[in-house]
Amino acid sequence: MAILRPKEIRDKKMKDRTASLADLRKELSKLNSQKVSGRIPENPGKIKALRRTIARILTINRQEVSTK
């Protein structure tokens, strides 16, 4: 899954965002398990980018829910 920017996230519907969130969490889990087992992930910086993207999606979801 690609790293999403705030504008791209806001353009998606809530259902699509939750699907993206699930995919990102699954990918993050996979990378974290590789890190814990001692294997070096292909791109170690991707872990940080995934965490930030997940936080962006959650923040935007909360903002939209609180404004409605």
Could you give the count of Cα atoms lying within 13 Å of 50 in the half-sphere of its Cβ?
A: 19
Picking from 3, 15, 7, the residue whose alpha carbon sits closest to that of residue 54 is 3
pLDDT, residue 28, reads 96
How far from each other are the two terminal CA atoms of the chain, in whole angstroms?
29
pLDDT, residue 67, reads 86
pLDDT, residue 63, reads 95
Q: Where are the domains of the chain?
A: 6-67
CATH of span 6-67: 1.10.287.310
Q: What is the pTM of this model?
A: 0.90
Model confidence over 11-47: pLDDT tens digits?
999 999 999 999 999 999 999 999 999 998 888 899 9
